[in-house]
Amino acid sequence: MDTYPTWQDKSLIPEEKVRVVGEDIVQPAQENKLSDGDLEAIKNRLTKARTQLILDKPFLGNLVLRLPLVAADSWCKTSATDAKSFYYNPEFIDSLNKHQVKFVLIHEALHCALTHFARRGNRTKHKWDLACDFAINPLLVKEGFHPPIDVPIFQQYAGMIAEEIYPMIDDNLNQEPMGQHLYDDQANDDSKQSDGGMREDQLQQDPKPQSEANEGKQGGSSSLAQQPAILRPDEIEKLATQWQKNLASSAQIAQQAGKLEGEFAKLIDFFLQPQVSWQSLLAQYMSALARDDFSYYRPSRRSGEAILPALKSHQIDITVAIDTSGSITQEEVDEFVSEVNAIKANLSASITLIACDDKLSEHSPWRFEAWDALQFPASLGGGKGTNFIPVFDYVDAQDRACDVLIYFTDAKGKFPEREPNYPVMWLVKGKEPIPWGARIQLQ
């Protein structure tokens, strides 16, 4: 009787096995061609680059130092981070010069320090990853760092944050992020390659503890790190808090060394502002403005001759200006008007609503008394450049100054040369500074 070879036959050499994961064909990983000595030398290059950054750029160096260096398996094509570690492909790092190595280290550290992993919300992952790259890379180039030669730099996004860049990116842009952002596995797009999370075959395995994954990775190829598990929501929240502390402490160290200036100083001021919702800050400000106060009006004759303080209340007059230059979306304006209306309902306040780009809208102002509901006009017009002066000219031309002017804007426009004699509150989208007045950051 004939016998047939089986997989149990030791004499049979099986062909290379191909694993099918969903619709993707995953070939077996190639053996790492680098020796243990090569891997050690590459890690030493990274360590040396971090040391140089600490000496020359203490702010950036201290951020980079927060990420343990982990040599990664073939899943990592270039570099990657999960907001816990800096993963790198040894062959990729070996192909870079010392300036490019610094660029890659800082690039991944800034993704963490700016909490890009916690700010995506419901945005498409691939497009969000690109927006985060486009926000960081021009900043690093401006500060004198040299990117790998195949990294595109879009100078039109210089000075913008990821949330501002995201809607400007073409949905069909066929480009991969510089590194892999291992924050979650919900790609929400049709990209061919997921750059984060776990593959289906990995879900059947228990992920190693982070401490195990980060230790001993400089050895041979057998000890290269596997792709880490995705972050849980509670981890994201804790890491975001921790990275804000890292940002603040790194800034303090750099300030003490006298080496914090330029674009990074502005960036820190922006991201270290109190993370309180603008709705809460606005409500607090308005409540303080409208609180009842004591007044020394002359009493009636029946009260006697003594003049005592009496508690008086009065209706406050609020002027609300909306920047209609095109940088503020309709959804944001609707949310703003709704919030002002809610505050108005709890105060005795009249509101004058003004729309302005480089001049007042032909239909404004709209006047709402304390007993009126604040309704959004059907059309505000606008779409041109931004000039704040017409609004202040209008207020100055009235019989009496308003109690407060609230301006909803991106702050990219022409300001009056002098501060008015009434309070001004700027609700600012973006990170532009204001010359005077109170500033509330819109998220």
Query: Is it the case that residue 333 has pLDDT exceeding 50?
Result: yes
Instruction: Please state the CATH superfamily assignment of the domain spanning residues 278-297+307-442 in this structure.
Output: von Willebrand factor, type A domain (3.40.50.410)
Sheet with 180-181, edge to edge strand ranges: 69-71, 86-88, 79-81, 180-181
Query: Is it the case that residue 3 has pLDDT exceeding 50?
Result: no
Answer for the pair 33, 89: CB distance below 8 angstroms, yes or no.
no
What was the pLDDT predicted at 443? 61
Query: Is it the case that residue 219 has pLDDT exceeding 80?
Result: no
Q: What long-range pairs does 146-152 form, CB within 8 A, spacing at least 24? A: 146/97, 146/99, 146/100, 146/103, 147/100, 147/103, 147/178, 148/78, 148/96, 148/100, 148/103, 148/104, 148/178, 151/178
Which has the higher per-residue pLDDT, 222 or 77? 77
What are 364-423's pLDDT values in tens digits? Answer: 888 888 777 767 666 666 566 789 999 999 999 988 778 889 898 888 889 999 999 888
Q: Which of 339, 326, 354 is nearest to 412 (CA)?
A: 326
Query: Is it the case that residue 234 has pLDDT exceeding 50?
Result: yes
Domain definitions of the chain by residue range: 29-271, 278-297+307-442
Query: Is it the case that residue 88 has pLDDT exceeding 80?
Result: yes
**Taking residues 8-18, what's their average pLDDT?**
41
Confidence of residue 284 (pLDDT cuts 50, 70, 90): low
What is the residue-averaged pLDDT of the chain? Answer: 75
The pTM for the full model equals: 0.55
What was the pLDDT predicted at 86? 95
Which has the higher per-residue pLDDT, 190 or 275? 275
Considering only 169-178, 214-223, 358-367, 403-412, which range has the smallest mean pLDDT?
214-223
Confidence of residue 272 (pLDDT cuts 50, 70, 90): low
**Taking residues 9-19, what's their average pLDDT?**
41
What was the pLDDT predicted at 279? 61
Q: What long-range pairs does 258-266 form, CB within 8 A, spacing at least 24? A: 259/56, 259/57, 259/58, 259/59, 260/58, 260/59, 262/142, 262/143, 263/139, 263/142, 263/143, 263/159, 264/59, 264/60, 264/139, 264/143, 266/431
